[in-house]
Amino acid sequence: MSLPHAILTALLEKPSSGLELTRRFDRSIGYFWSATHQQIYRELGRLETEGLIRALPSAQPARGQKKSYEVLPAGRAELARWTAAPQDPKPLRDALLLRLRASAVVGTDGLEADLRRHLELHRGQLAEYEEIERRDFPPEKDSAQDRVRHLVLRAGIDLETFWTRWLAQALAELERLPR
């Protein structure tokens, strides 16, 4: 996934300013695709230059006013092209797994505490996702858009469930190793 496509998606859902996009990234898209405030503003400028979005006309003079952006037909076409294009899965690159593998050679000193820290972080993220699911996806919320958005959230829940289970297993296994 790329930042321009994440921004086009967010703007198609709701025209927004750069600041509003940053907040929305923090609350939703940021769970699976993060971007800084500066990256979002840079990308908005590039998308506008390429004719994929435009700043909405403002009733006030533009100087000092925040600009809100909307997606132009070319931006919608680009997003549709991108969503329809095949893309291979990305290989997993996780430093924690590499560190665990290295610990087989040099010993596990210090690793157990970090595994416990990771477990707590993943448990916290899982709890947050489950709260979002309870709040934002009641059974009666069943439109096609809601169902697809829920699929994305379910992927996050399933990934966090995997990590919490795996980390608990890894810690149990480390505890059984001879000291």
Of 170, 36, 42, which is closest to residue 114 (Cα–Cα)? Answer: 170
Residue 2 neighbours by CB under 8 Å, 6+ apart: 82
DSSP state letter for 16? E
**pLDDT in single tens digits along all 179 residues of the chain:** 589 999 999 999 999 999 999 888 877 777 777 888 899 999 999 999 999 999 998 766 656 668 899 999 999 999 999 999 999 988 888 999 999 999 999 999 889 999 999 999 999 999 999 999 999 999 888 899 999 989 999 999 999 999 999 999 999 999 998 87
Tokens at residue 141, please? 């919320």
Whole-model pTM? 0.80
